[in-house]
Amino acid sequence: MMRSILEKISEEATKYLRELSGREGLDRVLGTHGDDTTKVIDRLAEDFILERLNSTGYKINYITEETGTIDKEGAEYVAVIDPLDGSTNFLNGITWASISIALFSSTGSPIAGIVGEIFTGKTYSYDETGAYVNGVKLQVLPTPKQRIVLPYFDKNRLREISQILSSIDGGYKMRNLGAASLDMLLVCTGRAYLFIDVRNKLRNVDIASSMNFCEKMNVHPFSLEGSKLNIDLKKVSVIKDVLVTADLSLSQRILSAWKASPS
């Protein structure tokens, strides 16, 4: 039920954003939040998604990238929302951007979620029973045809990321695509080998829905301390680092390399 509602909202929101793509003035800065900026397109995307969620009739608290926390008395659910992941891509006509909604119960249990590719309309959703691509339930995780690695790092982490990448046996191809939610899903649908982010910049809103999708596919995102990731349901918060791979042997080698590297 809730998954179907979110899939419908994703269909409407991604269509709306496709229609806006290329218009003038979408990159105008309206304000700042933390180290990030809110642009016109961010606000339009957020307003559209919140309006659609409000129209469901359910009482929902919101944790959303642009506004932050919106609490409602007697809320049944908490929605963690990234209204536009990959906004730089979107504004430059690079077709790798998404909307993301993760729905939790008021006690913190994952209920359902959606990540919608804006330019293709493709959806990645989940509920309490499994994960779905374009509404079709996934039964098994395919083995990647190519070993694609998606590393995100700052220049002050070059030595550490070099040690991490040296943990990979054999050859691989590196890509930086610019939308964390979709990049993680490449790993969790068998199209990439490794996603890793050590920038101390990702937030709960960026990856909440993708993380829960991955969990349904039995791919468990970890921090580089080796602990399971937890999504803050009270506020927008930073997630220091993220490791996602279906190769358990690789994840152990990476965790060991990170632990051995200078802090």
pLDDT at 71 over 90: yes
Q: Where are the domains of the chain?
A: 2-137, 148-260
The pTM for the full model equals 0.95
- Check if CATH label 3.30.230.10 holds for domain 148-260: no
The response to whether 183 counts as a known ligand-binding position is no
The response to whether 206 counts as a known ligand-binding position is yes
pLDDT at 261 over 90: no
Q: Exposed, middle or buried, 157 (CB in 10 Å: 0-12/13-18/19+)?
A: middle
Closest C-alpha to 97, from 191, 17, 198, 203? 17
User: DSSP string spanning the chain?
Assistant: -HHHHHHHHHHHHHHHHHHHTT-TTTT-EEEEETTEEEEHHHHHHHHHHHHHHHTT---EEEEETTTEEE--TT-SEEEEEEEEESHHHHHTT-S--EEEEEEEETTS-EEEEEEEETTT--EEEEETTEEEETTEEP-SPPPPSS-EEEEE--GGGHHHHHHHHTTS-S--EE---S-HHHHHHHHHTTS-SEEEE-SS--BHHHHHHHHHHHHHTT---B-TTSPBP---SSS--B---EEE-S-HHHHHHHHHHHHHS--
Q: Indicate the average pLDDT of the chain.
A: 95
Report the distance separating Cα 217 and Cα 215, nearest Å.
5
Q: Mean of the pLDDT values across residues 56-81?
A: 95
The response to whether 82 counts as a known ligand-binding position is yes
pLDDT at 34: 67
pLDDT tens digits along 43-64: 999 999 999 999 999 999 999 9
The response to whether 127 counts as a known ligand-binding position is no
- Architecture of the domain delimited by 2-137: 2-Layer Sandwich (3.30)
pLDDT tens digits along 200-221: 999 999 999 999 999 999 999 9
The response to whether 71 counts as a known ligand-binding position is no
pLDDT at 70 over 90: yes
Check: CB of residue 14 under 8 Å from CB of residue 22: no
Higher per-residue confidence, 157 vs 152: 152
